[in-house]
Structure 1
Amino acid sequence: MFDIDRVYNTQNDRVWAVDRADADKNGGTQQKRKFPQKVMVWLGACSKGLTPLVILDEETVDHTVYIEKVLPVALKYGNQFFGSDWVFQQDGAKPHSHHLSQKWCRDNFPTFIEKDRWPPNSPDLNPLDYSIWDQLVNNINWSKVYSKTTLIMELKLSVKKISESVVFESCACWTNRLYRRYQNDGSYLR
């Protein structure tokens, strides 16, 4: 989720500092509007690159929107990159775990990890969460973002600036991260 006051991701937004003044200097305190204009986006990543950015402009993204707008993009680019030898992974968001989304995945993807076989909220195992979103956010020229339209334009420009090496490296370390998570009894990585 992105809004015109910058990115909204309370899970990943951290500022490491020795005191409050140092934290503020490094972006710790930022003014936010009460109801900023916002947009949800979806992006797929694999060792071969990124899918196109999908802008989900609806107020709510339910399983119907997910099936109609996101899954066909994932299928097209997975097949384009890997033919029929690949696995689709998603997290435990409600639109992803809905029985109709699961059925669509079963019926269309060569292989996918069903909702009961994957940790529901696993930022440690999602290259977008542990690497790629951060670069996308840092590529945005926030001084040009003053409306939903300019936010969408900046998001589209910024995704094109994501370094291929960042995508490759974040996907290449995935197996190691999975193994470390397994060794840690499923707990978050530190």
Structure 2
Amino acid sequence: MIDTIGSIDLTYSTGRPRIVRTPGAIEKVKNRADAGGRVSIRKLARDLRISRTSIHRILKKDLKYNAYKKKVQPFLTDAHKAKRKAFANWVRINFRKEKTMRILFSDEKDFDIDGVYNLQSDRVWAPSRAIANEKGGIVEKRKFPQKVMVWLGACSNGISSLVIFEEGTVDHARYIKEMLPVALKYGNKVFDND
């Protein structure tokens, strides 16, 4: 071989020729994957009459594609983006560091008394279902669990006291009646207002 072509590289593959993962099949899979939208390996395999494992190999090995979960994000129009940008510029112009140190950030959260269980990641390893049940494989959950809403404020000087709304629904009147006095008291104490 060195005498004829001057190289020790083979001019052809010595292994079994590819029957399914041909350049044409790879191109078909690439076109379907690049077309946009959701692409199922099973549906591709059925439509192209290629096995699922071959489709998977084409996507992973030949095309170097990875499967990604879709992300959820807020729907923002151009008007929303323009308003946000205008507000950010207004804050930059009108607020100095001293003023930003006096901002109280607050949030509220509903807590379920039963707790939250992720059935996808919370597993019990056991040889049988009966033994798994004995080891805590059953999670009991009420149909209408009791919920508690909690409010908390934070600023550059610390954290406010917790406000817990235990019973009933929290509408704007109750929110103002029970939460606002706590926020005002905390703000006056922290920022030395009389």
Confirm or deny a common fold (TM above 0.5): no
Task: Identify which of structures 1 and 2 has the higher relative contact order when contacts are C-alpha pairs closer than 8 Å and 6+ apart.
Answer: 1
TM-score by length of 1: 0.32
Q: Which has the larger radius of gyration?
A: 2
TM-score, structure 2 as length reference:
0.31
